[in-house]
Structure 1
Amino acid sequence: MSEVKVKNHEIVIPGDILAEGTLKYGEGVIRRGNLYYSTIVGLFQDKGDFIQVKALKGKYIPRPGDLVIGKVIEVGLTNWIVDVGSPYMAVLSANNATEKRFDPVKDDARRIFNVGDIILTKIISFDRTRDPQIITNERGLGKLRSGRLVEIEAAHIPRVIGKKGTMINMVKRLTRTQIITGQNGRIWVQGKKVEDELKAIETIKKIELEAHTQGLTDRIREMLSNGQEENEV
């Protein structure tokens, strides 16, 4: 016989007793004897015979295959050091940056990416024994231009995206913007009008703030739909 001690979607902290008995458990949960404890600050999720805690805060830890938005902080002869919002700086080597052959004698790395550039990139390897390796030489990756960067907790990115992309697609449509979400908590917003970009950013921040609440999709839809009606008056 198992007993869950906290409500579904309740915020818990390290040391909170979550359940007692025999259950399957995932991230953010540790078992001691017959009791299950939270190991992080997060949102408790009860899925019947499976429990877990989704982190609400914490630094992004790179994983191979992750699409992330980075900031170039240093340019070398044949590589770039990129801040991806992690405790570990990422390294972009010249052969992973462009499809063209790079000659450090003739070519200037700063003409490809310079300090301060915001880039869309992908993690290709990381094992904590060496810094993450990233690439920009695949289709759709590279320097991001004419837009605005917003940063949220990486743990909230799935909520911003929503199931099958429902939340992010709704925000794009109702704010008339293009939005790129990085799995490291960075989001790029681009619209034809400044007010559209600012509305999208305001919406993203609201989703982050209320990520743990129910009925959020309906509230966001109502907020954006009302805003559209006011603009049309």
Structure 2
Amino acid sequence: MNHLAADVPSISNTRLFGDIDRGIQADKLVIPGLPVSQLSGFMRGHGTYLRGDELYSSLAGAVRQVNRLINVQSVKQRYSPEIGDVVVGSITEVQEKRWKVDICGRLDAHLQLASVNLPGGELRRKTTEDELAMRDYLVEGDFISAEVQQVHHDGSIFLHTRSLKYGKLGIGVAVRVPSYLIKRRKTHFHALPCGAGLIIGCNGMIWICEQISEDPDGGYNIDLNQHVPASNMKVISRLFNCINVLANHGIHIFETSVMNCYDFSSAYETKDLMRSDVAAEVAAQVIQQLRADIMDES
């Protein structure tokens, strides 16, 4: 149960059901060669090219517009970090005064020793003794939650865990989904009504655990051999399968969609969610509920 990760199969649907949550209509999903805008005065962004006075798509993806700039966001692109993003990653290497972290991007991110809380939540200047004890804090294979602190022009990424809600993660399950399905929210740490905790990383890594709490030791003293009750394991397993259902059907993943899927799936056994017919039925119910919620808000 400890530190398991799974990749969700690539999405084969030609229409993304989750586009309603980001204001992207289904008719704005384009393939290479299709016109993006027939109006003049727009600036050509990434994923587009100009032919005459019209913009055409050079990628398969969703059309995004920021003021007068139009670009096409590929549904297959790797995670592109932004400052302030909450991410879940795994330690890949311990270096001098820093750890390298896999956050599903083009490059591994850097977590500097000066950018972490030491056990007890201390924020003091790090000494040579702290550097020698780095492997007592984090080693290869450990999962952490962190925040993107800096993104440099050369693509290098720097993280920090200077908050008690960030740090080393204990017993739980990690599931990897396409990062474009993650809906950015004010908070990515959730205590779900079903009794489990959820950390939804903007990088497409989602951590499912028993509960979310601020550890005064930053998670460095977690007992990874502690017993997990069978009832909690069943909840975590169902959430794991629910997230797979959402990802495989192109539905944006945030706390509401996850709980909707969890509730609708209660009519089935957890293992049945791996069946394509059951997954499609549950996904259709989630989509219908999300659309109803949007209509109510409008």
Category of TM-score, reference length = shorter chain: 0.7 to 0.9
Is the counterpart of residue 196 in structure 1 residue 235 in structure 2?
yes
| Structure 2 portions without partners, runs of 5+ | 1-23, 118-122, 211-230, 270-298
Q: Which amino acid is the alignment partner of residue 9 of structure 1?
A: A
Is the counterpart of residue 206 in structure 1 residue 206 in structure 2?
no
1:67 deviates by 1.2
Task: Please identify runs of 4+ aligned residues in structure 1 that moved more than 6 A.
Answer: 217-220
Q: How does 1:154-193 map to 2 (within 5 A)?
A: 154-158=179-183, 172-173=192-193, 175-191=194-210, 193=232
Structure 1 stretch 56-65 or stretch 191-200: which is displaced more? 191-200
Q: How does 1:26-65 map to 2 (within 5 A)?
A: 28-44=47-63, 53-65=72-84
1:71/1:84 contact within 8 Å kept? yes
Q: How does 1:91-102 map to 2 (within 5 A)?
A: 91-98=110-117, 99-102=123-126
Is the counterpart of residue 140 in structure 1 residue 158 in structure 2?
no
Q: Which amino acid is the alignment partner of residue 262 of structure 2?
A: L
Instruction: Tell me how far apart the structure 2 counterparts of residues 172 and 38 of structure 1 sit (CA, whole Å).
Output: 40
Closer/same/farther in 2, CA of residues 44 and 132 from structure 1, 3 Å limit: closer
Number of residues of Structure 1 aligned to a counterpart in Structure 2: 213
Instruction: Tell me how far apart the structure 1 counterparts of residues 142 and 259 of structure 2 sit (CA, whole Å).
Output: 32
Closer/same/farther in 2, CA of residues 101 and 91 from structure 1, 3 Å limit: same
Identity %: 23
TM-score (norm 1): 0.74
Q: How does 1:211-226 map to 2 (within 5 A)?
A: 211=250, 221=260, 224-226=262-264
Q: Deviations over 1:177-212 (max 9, x none)?
A: 211111111111113612211211222222222226
TM-score (norm 2): 0.60
Instruction: Tell me how far apart the structure 1 counterparts of residues 259 and 71 of structure 2 sit (CA, whole Å).
Output: 26
Is the counterpart of residue 113 in structure 1 residue 138 in structure 2?
yes
Q: How does 1:59-98 map to 2 (within 5 A)?
A: 59-98=78-117
Instruction: Tell me how far apart the structure 2 counterparts of residues 63 and 130 of structure 1 sit (CA, whole Å).
Output: 11
Instruction: Tell me how far apart the structure 2 counterparts of residues 219 and 85 of structure 1 sit (CA, whole Å).
Output: 22
State the SS of the aligned residue for 1:94.
strand
Structure 1 stretch 124-133 or stretch 22-31: which is displaced more? 22-31
Instruction: Tell me how far apart the structure 2 counterparts of residues 212 and 13 of structure 1 sit (CA, whole Å).
Output: 20
Instruction: Tell me how far apart the structure 2 counterparts of residues 149 and 62 of structure 1 sit (CA, whole Å).
Output: 19
Q: Which amino acid is the alignment partner of residue 134 of structure 2?
A: A
State the SS of the aligned residue for 2:159.
strand
Instruction: Tell me how far apart the structure 2 counterparts of residues 89 and 226 of structure 1 sit (CA, whole Å).
Output: 37
1:92 deviates by 1.2
State the SS of the aligned residue for 1:95.
strand
1:69/1:84 contact within 8 Å kept? yes
| Structure 1 portions without partners, runs of 5+ | 1-6
